[in-house]
């Protein structure tokens, strides 16, 4: 741990504010990502992605964010019927079957 980080943790501990340390870390990470021109993307799917699927979705994330440096985190969400949800900095691209069924249902009800 660097001296600067140790001093920050010590200061937060002295002031009884260690609970804000995760928020400080997230803010620092966000600032660093901005400076380095990279994006963080979270991809949730119903089942674990294959390496080929992850590579394809990473390429998609690069196009959607306009960034060449993309850090992808994947998660399995058993509540999804199928498809994926891609969250790129708060912009959510929902390609799940559930969303497609809801959209189709609304279109059919309107017709």
- Mean pLDDT to the nearest integer, 90-97: 90
On the question of pLDDT at 8 being above 90, the answer is yes
- Mean pLDDT to the nearest integer, 98-106: 88
CB 45 within 8 A of CB 83: yes
Strand, helix or coil at 102? Answer: helix
Report yes or no on whether pTM surpasses 0.85. no
What mean pLDDT value characterizes the chain? Answer: 92
Enumerate the H helices of 37-95 as residue ranges: 51-65
Q: Which residues of 86-95 are buried (b: 16+ CB within 10 A; e: fewer)?
A: bbbeeeeebe
Which residues lie closer than 8 Å to 83 by C-beta, 6 or more apart? 45, 46, 94, 95, 96, 97, 98, 99, 100
Write out the E strands in 30-98: 38-45, 69-76, 84-88, 91-94
If one compares 76 and 100, the residue with the highest pLDDT of the two is 76
Domains of the chain by residue range: 1-36, 39-111
On the question of pLDDT at 22 being above 70, the answer is yes
On the question of pLDDT at 111 being above 70, the answer is no
Taking only the tens place, the pLDDT of each residue in 25-63 is 999 999 999 999 999 999 999 999 999 999 999 999 999
45 backbone φψ class: left, alpha, beta (φ>0; ψ -120 to 50): beta
3-state helix, strand, coil in the chain (%, to 5): 55, 25, 25
Looking at residue 77, its pLDDT comes to: 93
């Amino acid at each position: 741990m660097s001296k600067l980080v140790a001093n920050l943790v010590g200061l937060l501990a002295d002031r009884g504010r260690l609970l804000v340390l995760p928020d400080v870390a997230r803010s620092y990470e966000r600032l660093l990502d901005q400076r380095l021109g990279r994006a963080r993307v979270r991809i949730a799917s119903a089942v674990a992605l294959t390496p080929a699927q992850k590579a394809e979705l990473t390429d998609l994330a690069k196009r959607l964010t306009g960034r060449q440096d993309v850090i992808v985190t994947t998660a399995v969400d058993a509540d999804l019927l199928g498809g994926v949800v891609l969250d790129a900095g708060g912009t959510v691209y929902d390609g799940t079957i559930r969303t497609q069924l809801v959209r189709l249902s609304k279109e059919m009800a309107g017709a």
